[in-house]
Amino acid sequence: MNIKINGRQLEITSTIREWVGDRLKALAEDSVIKTTQLNATLEREKNTFRASMVLNCKYHTLTAEVSGPDLGRVVESGARKLEAQARSLRDKIRSHKAEGLAESEQNKAAEAAAAPEPEAEPEKKSAK
């Protein structure tokens, strides 16, 4: 799993690299969404900072772009956005998995027991 942190008009010190890497490490190591690479680009424009984060998964790409006056808040906000997207993707992947055979048979038995039985029709007497 690769985590790349780039800076534009901003020097990325080892402290910033460690802090951003630690913040995004849990996202990068998620085994359900199968993360392959995470790119974080931090920019400085006059008095604002901008963070662009891209999380590449096996079949999906999650992105978050945030800007603001404080670098720490920008990175935290971007990480929260990525976490929310990853959480919804993780839930989607987990909910679409097939259930086991034993669970399937138990569910069918429960549905059959809960279903009302059809009422028997009274016999019609023939008129002679």
pLDDT tens digits, residue range 43-93? 999 899 999 999 998 888 999 999 999 999 999 999 999 999 988 988 888
- Per the structure, how many domains does the chain have? 1
Residue-range definition of the domain harbouring residue 44: 1-14+28-69
Q: pTM value?
A: 0.69
* Residue 89 covered by a domain: no
- The model's confidence at residue 106, banded by pLDDT at 50, 70 and 90, is confident
CATH number at residue 60: 3.30.160.100
Structure confidence at residue 93 (pLDDT): 83
> Mind giving me the DSSP string for the chain?
-EEEEEEESS---HHHHHHHHHHHHHHHT-TTTTEEEEEEEEEEETTEEEEEEEEEESS-EEEEEEEES-HHHHHHHHHHHHHHHHHHHHHHHHHTSPPPHHHHHHHHHHHHHHSPPPPPPPPPPPP-
